[in-house]
Amino acid sequence: MNAPLPALPSLPALQALTVAELAERIGGGGAAAAAAAARELAAATLRALYLDGAPTIDAMRSLGAARRARLAEVVSFPRLERIAAEPSADGSTRFAFRLHDGALIESVLLPHHAGSQRYTVCVSSQAGCAQACRFCATGKLGLARSLAAWEIVDQVAQVTAHAGVRASDLVFMGMGEPLANEAAVYQAAAVMTQSHGLQIGARRITISTAGVVPAIDRFVAAARPYRLVFSLGSAVAEKRLRLMPIQESFGFDALLESIAAYARLRRGKHVTLEYVAIRDFTMGDDDVAALADLAARARFRFLLNVIPFNPVGDEFAAPTMAEVRAWTAKLRPLGFPVKLRFSGGRDRNAGCGQLGTALLADPQRRSATRRGR
């Protein structure tokens, strides 16, 4: 933010384009042979970018000089600046990137289990977040801005290239509220699911939302193929309101209506609700009763994904493993499935809800990482 930033070129970013969109830009004047050549170059370019991990257009040696020159005329290839890649003891790796305007974002690479060759990438959809959930580190930052589609796709391209792996799954559970940045999130998803490049299955893209009701309704109306999961926070409306200010805009009942519509889109399959287990706040008998009531009145079936609170600030306390197990045991008789999730990367403050403060608040460590590149 001190030195003047290089201006972004005005050509569209390569990472924001599907193979068809790129082929159209490469063009060729409508003749069938030229159109086929454009499509072939587009596909080869995306292979070089996403499968070979080429860092620049110049590095796409497989294309040949003339085709690289043509490419550089019609697209730009901006990259996020990677400023940290920190492995955790549990096998996950936390990445931090600097955007062209200086804002910082984070992504996490998570093996499905220790030693697994299957990976999930957790991406950010915004720099910071406007939702201000009280239990979330990103919520304490406020919103800097929403990300462009290429900035979402580039997180996945860089994380997988750096680790030398491919991602089978993608979750929008990093910084930001994805449904407050719909256009970029859906364009990024379109790029990442196409058969050229990252090739992530649409059903393997999970969008987690704090509950932006109109955006959920638009998702349902458009019958988008991705998976939505919903951050419940708490099932007691007053507690949810205290934890998640978004409830001032969209009430609990309206949210339940929209989730029911989403469940119908998924033909009645279980919907995942994410529940943050906070000691002395969301782990009481009243919370058990509220969940029983929710199960009785909700017009959809749900699975409760219980995430033990990862320490953020000093307003709330993290429960012990034993406390979480004892509390979730009380939910077993209620008739809905319960899954306990211990989020990866906790030893690096890269667990759910912890993205956004450690790296930002520690300039010394940040500059050490930069020197070490």
Nearer to ligand SAH, 71 or 350 (CB): 350
For residue 236, the minimal CB distance to ligand SAH (Å) is: 15
* CA distances to 6, 75, 222 from 208, in Å: 33, 31, 17
DSSP string covering 157-209: HHHHHHHT--EEEEEE-SSS-GGGSHHHHHHHHHHHHSTTTT---GGGEEEEE
Is residue 312 involved in binding ligand SAH (CB under 6 A)? yes
Q: For ligand SAH, which residue of 104, 307, 331, 358 counts as binding (CB under 6 A)?
A: 307
Residue nearest to ligand SAH (CB): 353
For residue 34, the minimal CB distance to ligand SAH (Å) is: 44
Exposed (0-12), middle (13-18) or buried (19+): which is 47, by Cβ within 10 Å?
middle
Contacting ligand SAH within 173-202 (CB under 6 A): 173, 177
* CA distances to 56, 64, 135, 230, 327 from 321, in Å: 46, 56, 18, 23, 10
Q: Which of 106, 151, 182, 274 is catalytic?
A: 106
Nearer to ligand SAH, 128 or 197 (CB): 128
Nearer to ligand SAH, 50 or 135 (CB): 135
Is residue 45 involved in binding ligand SAH (CB under 6 A)? no
Active site residue 129: no
**Could you give the 3-state DSSP secondary structure of residue 86?**
strand
For residue 244, the minimal CB distance to ligand SAH (Å) is: 8
Distance, in Å, from the CA atom of 28 to the CA atom of 33, rounded to the nearest integer, reads 8
Per-residue x/- marks for ligand SAH, 144-173, CB under 6 A?
A: -----------------------------x
Strand partners, 339: 305
Distance, in Å, from the CA atom of 155 to the CA atom of 97, rounded to the nearest integer, reads 8
Q: Which of 122, 129, 133, 352 is catalytic?
A: 352
Nearer to ligand SAH, 216 or 352 (CB): 352
| Inter-helix orientation angle 32-50/65-74, to 10° | 90
Instruction: State phi, psi for 179 to the nearest 5 degrees.
Output: -80, 5
Contacting ligand SAH within 238-267 (CB under 6 A): none
Active site residue 106: yes
For residue 229, the minimal CB distance to ligand SAH (Å) is: 7
Q: Which of these ranges, 62-70, 157-165, 255-263, 309-317, lies near ligand SAH under the rule CB under 6 A?
A: 309-317
Is residue 42 involved in binding ligand SAH (CB under 6 A)? no
Q: Which of these ranges, 113-121, 148-156, 304-312, 362-370, lies near ligand SAH under the rule CB under 6 A?
A: 304-312
Is residue 344 involved in binding ligand SAH (CB under 6 A)? no
Cβ atoms of residues 276 and 282 within 8 Å: yes
Alpha helix (H) residue ranges in the chain:
19-26, 32-50, 65-74, 149-163, 182-193, 213-221, 237-243, 252-265, 285-297, 321-329, 363-371
Is residue 135 involved in binding ligand SAH (CB under 6 A)? yes
For residue 305, the minimal CB distance to ligand SAH (Å) is: 8
For residue 53, the minimal CB distance to ligand SAH (Å) is: 27
Give Cβ neighbours of residue 74 (< 8 Å, ≥ 6 apart): 11, 25, 26, 27
Q: Which residues are catalytic?
A: 106, 352
Report the interface residues with ligand SAH, using CB under 6 A: 135-136, 173, 177, 208-210, 231, 274, 276, 307, 309-310, 312, 352-353
